Amino acid sequence: MGEVLARDCPSREILNHVCSRWGVLVLVVLLDGMHRFSELRRKIGGVSEKMLSQTLQSLEQDGFVDRKALPVVPPHVEYNLTPMGKEVALQVDGLTTWIEQNLPRILQARELREAEPRQSSAASSSAV
């Protein structure tokens, strides 16, 4: 069993793979089924080829994504969630759904915080 709060716990690295911006989005997209690399890149706006490749490699290494290279020209690679990948993807999908449903509230809270006058750094550091 992992100790995520412990400095050297390997669960932190896995948490980083799953909860990174691109990790979350890859997992959510793959919940819909198999996708090719180019399809993933099109669906996930703003991700570079390099970041998508690194994210897929990390998730594959952790056992969440299955990569299948087909022997055709041009190369054809398919990505699917493993059973364990589906489990974790459902968890992050719940979080992304909650964020999307509550986005107006979150943005409103952000606006209210930004409109508040800033306390001096000495006052805020004493609260910590």
User: In this predicted model, what pLDDT tens digit does every residue of 85-94 receive, in sequence order?
Assistant: 999 999 999 9
User: In this predicted model, what pLDDT tens digit does every residue of 1-47 receive, in sequence order?
Assistant: 668 888 889 999 999 999 999 999 999 999 999 999 999 999 999 99
Which DSSP string corresponds to the chain? ---TTSTT-THHHHHHHHHSHHHHHHHHHHTT--EEHHHHHHHSTT--HHHHHHHHHHHHHTTSEEEEEES-SS-EEEEEE-HHHHHHHHHHHHHHHHHHHTHHHHHHHHHHHHHSPPPPHHHHHHH-
Q: What is the CATH number of domain 11-115?
A: 1.10.10.10
Reported pTM:
0.84
